[in-house]
Amino acid sequence: MLERLHEHGFDDLDAAHLLVFQYPGPHDTRPSELAARLRISKQALGYLLGQLEQLGYLERRPDPNDQRGKRILVARRGKRAIRVIREAVAEVETEWTQRLGAKRFTQLRQLLLDLNEQA
């Protein structure tokens, strides 16, 4: 992912930032909630969000419903980056399909989905 991102001009991202973009992404979530989901401290997330905001990938706006909190909005640059990430994933899936064959790849995918579902 990082390689593809750098190739597409998002070379100001590094490995730590990928955590924030991890599915389903940070859009419209509160920093506290996201930190809990990613299992890092609120401070650590704040540090990463500060960088990503500075680089134009997202914004932090006051939460209209709670004057203590904020909400994360993915900006245009962030959405473009997410698209590149999706393309990278699709690329891997294509390669695996070639290696295993379409039928067995589908099997693998379904097994992993089942495994994850009950977790």
Partner DNA sequence: CGAATTCGTCAAGTGGCTTTACGAAACAAC
Partner DNA sequence: GTTGTTTCGTAAAGCCACTTGACGAATTCG
Burial letters for 75-85: b for 16+ Cβ neighbours within 10 Å, e otherwise? Answer: eebbebbbebb
| 11 near DNA, judged by CB under 7 A | no
* Options 16, 36, 90, 100; binder of a copy of itself; rule CB under 8 A: 100
Q: Residue 2: which residues within 8 A CB-CB, separation 6 or more?
A: 13, 14, 15, 18
Nearer to a copy of itself, 22 or 98 (CB): 98
Return the residues of window 54-113 that contact DNA according to CB under 7 A.
Answer: 60, 63, 66-70
| 3 near a copy of itself, judged by CB under 8 A | no
Q: What is the sign, positive or negative, of the torsion defined by CA atoms of 48, 54, 55, 58?
A: positive
Nearer to a copy of itself, 29 or 97 (CB): 97
Q: Which residues bind a copy of itself (CB under 8 A)?
A: 96, 99-100, 104, 107-108, 111-112, 114-115, 118
Q: Which residues bind DNA (CB under 7 A)?
A: 14, 16, 19, 30-33, 39-44, 46-49, 51, 60, 63, 66-70
